[in-house]
Amino acid sequence: MFGEAIIPLDQWVSAGVEWLVDNHREFFQALKWPVEQLLTGFENGLGALHPAIVILVVCATAWKFSGKRLALFSLLSMLLIGFLGLWEDTMITLAMVLSSVVICGLFGIPLGILCGRSDTFEMGMRPVLDAMQTTPAFVYLVPIVMLFSVGNVAGVLATIIFALPPIIRLTSLGIRGVHPELVEAAQAFGANRMQVLIKVQIPLAMPSILAGMNQTIMMALSMVVIAALIGAGGLGSPVIYGLNTLDIGQAVVGGLGIVLMAIVLDRITQAMAQKSK
C-alpha cells in the first residue's frame, strides 16, 4: 500500500533551508552575533582566570547553598578535572553552558510567565515545546550548520533549542501553582497585574523556576558531545576523538569530566532551588 513517498516533505524542507541560506544568510549571521559575543566573553573571562580562583568560586558557592560536603566534593571534582588535563576543555564547555543558560533564561522565563498567565498562549506553545523536546538532537545539526556554519556558536544555538523547553514549562507550572487566594489578596490591596506578578507570583514560583534552570543546565550538558560533531570544542572533543579512533581511554576521560561537571552544577542549582523555598 505504501511504497515510495507520496508527500516529498524531505525535498520541501531541503528547498526551504537552501532558500533561507541563499536569501537571508545576512539575517542569520546578525542573529549569530550576540550569541558569539556572549560566548566569547565567557570564554575569555574563564580562560583569563587562574584555576585556583575558579575552584574557589565554585566551592564557595557550593558551601553557601548546600554546605561543607558539597564544597568538598566540588573541590575534589575540580582538582581531578585539572589533573586529568581537561581544565581548558572544561572552561570551554562551562562557557558554552553558561551562554546557553543565560539565553534560555532571557527568553524562557518571560515565555513561561506568559504561558502561566494565559491559557490561549500556553495551548499555542505546547505543540512547539513538544516538538522541541521530542525531535532528536541530531536533526537540529544540519540546518544549524547550513545557516550558522560550524563551531562553538553553532553548538550553543543547537543547545539553546534543545534546552529551552524545561525552563518554559516549569516557569509556567510555578506561576500556575501560586494559590489564587494570594493573588486575590494582593489585588484587594490595590496591586495591579504587574505588581502581582513581580511581588507575589514570581517570588512564590521561584523554586519551580530554579528547578527549570537546573533541568536546562543538565540538558545543555547532555548536548556537549553532540555539539562536538559540528566543531564545538570542550569536553565533547575527547569523546568524539575516542569514538573516531576507538580510543576508549580518551572517551572515558572526556565522559568523566562531563559527569563530574554535571554533578557539581546539578547539586548547586538543586540546593539553590531548595533554599529558595
Asked if 240 contacts 229 with a C-beta cutoff of 8 angstroms, the reply is yes
Task: State the pLDDT at residue 107.
Answer: 92
Q: What is the pLDDT of residue 2?
A: 63
Query: CA nearest 273: which of 222, 198, 221, 215?
Result: 215
- The count of other CB atoms within 10 Å of the CB of residue 102 is 15
Which burial class, exposed, middle or buried, applies to 276 when counting CB atoms under 10 A from its CB (0-12, 13-18, 19+)? Answer: middle
What does pLDDT average to in each consecutive run of 10 residues of the chain (277 residues)? 70 80 78 85 87 91 87 92 88 89 91 89 89 80 78 83 90 88 82 83 88 88 79 79 81 86 88 73
Domain locations in the chain as residue ranges: 87-276
SS (H, E, C) 65-133: HCCHHHHHHHHHHHHHHHHCCCHHHHHHHHHHHHHHHHHHHHHHHHHHHHHHHCHHHHHHHHHHHHHHH
* Assigned fold of 87-276: MetI-like fold (1.10.3720)
Quickly tell me which residue has 518554559 as its cell. Answer: 168
Residues with Cβ < 8 Å from 219, sequence gap 6 or more?
Answer: 159, 162, 163, 166
Residue 208: Cβ within 10 Å count: 25
pLDDT for 16: 80
Q: Which long-range contacts (CB under 8 A, 24 or more apart) does 174-183 make?
A: 174/112, 174/116, 174/204, 174/205, 174/206, 174/207, 174/208, 174/209, 174/212, 175/112, 175/113, 175/115, 175/116, 175/117, 175/201, 175/202, 175/205, 176/116, 177/204, 177/205, 177/208, 178/204, 178/205
The residue type found at 28 is: F
Looking at residue 225, its pLDDT comes to: 76
